[in-house]
Amino acid sequence: METSIPALLIAAILLMSTVVLARSGYTSFDTLSQSWKGMEARAGEQIRTRLSVTDTQVDETGANVTVILSNDGQSTIGDFERMDVVVQYFSESSTYYMRWIPYTPGDLESNTWTVQSISNDVFEPGLFNPGEELTMVIRLNPVVGLSTTNWVIISTELGVSLSAYFTR
């Protein structure tokens, strides 16, 4: 009888530790499952996103680069602030620059980019829907040099990237 109370106490402790361990394992698997579902949803959006550069132009001053994108996929792009634009170019003094260019919804300033227009923007105005063309303008300082070949890389908020060369 004198060993039954400690044995009962040890059994209770083992039972409680088993319950706590099982609960923490379930919580871990649930968290992992939710992360996996989010990853699958994002991968699906990436697969359905297909963009292409249809034209690039540099104005006569060399400060403004115009890039026209076509949305050939099935995803809508609307969070322009989360897009990355990187420009690699040579200035008039033949200095090489590689710059990340932030988005600005307002007036275009040096080393920023903005959406100039979205063609056929009837459905969901302000969003870049499938079948539409987006015209972005990138203002660079110092300006792009004459007779140089340069490169622009664009990445969406979903991680889909594309690039194009432009010359002045």
Same domain, 55 and 119: yes
pLDDT at 106 over 80: yes
Same domain, 44 and 57: no
Tell me the percentage of the chain whose pLDDT exceeds 70.
Answer: 99
Total tally of structural domains belonging to the chain: 2
- Cβ-Cβ contacts under 8 Å for 146 (sequence gap 6 or more): 62, 92, 168
pLDDT at 167 over 80: yes
Lowest average pLDDT, out of 2-6, 78-82, 83-87, 136-140, goes to 2-6
pLDDT at 52 over 90: yes
Confidence of residue 4 (pLDDT cuts 50, 70, 90): confident
Q: What is the pLDDT of residue 35?
A: 86
* Residue 91: DSSP 8-state: B
Q: Which helix (H) or strand (E) holds 138?
A: strand 133-139
Distance CA 147, CA 78 (A): 34
Same domain, 158 and 132: yes
Same domain, 61 and 116: yes
Cβ-based neighbour number of residue 160 at 10 Å: 19
Residues 20 and 29 sit within 8 Å (Cβ to Cβ): no
Same domain, 139 and 161: yes
Rounded to 5°, angle at Cα 96 from 61 and 160:
90
Q: What is the pLDDT of residue 135?
A: 97
Question: 84-90 and 149-155 as β-strands: parallel, antiparallel, unpaired?
Answer: antiparallel
Confidence of residue 33 (pLDDT cuts 50, 70, 90): confident
pLDDT at 2 over 80: no
Q: What is the mean pLDDT of residues 16-41?
A: 82
CATH number, residue 119: 2.60.40
Q: What is the pLDDT of residue 1?
A: 63
> What is the reported pTM?
0.76
Same domain, 36 and 73: no
Same domain, 94 and 24: no
Q: Of 17, 32, 48, which residue is a domain's last?
A: 48
Q: What is the mean pLDDT of residues 140-151?
A: 96
Same domain, 31 and 95: no
Same domain, 77 and 151: yes
Same domain, 18 and 79: no
Domain with 37, as residue range(s), is 1-48
- Cβ-Cβ contacts under 8 Å for 59 (sequence gap 6 or more): 66
pLDDT at 148 over 80: yes
Q: What is the mean pLDDT of residues 65-81?
A: 93
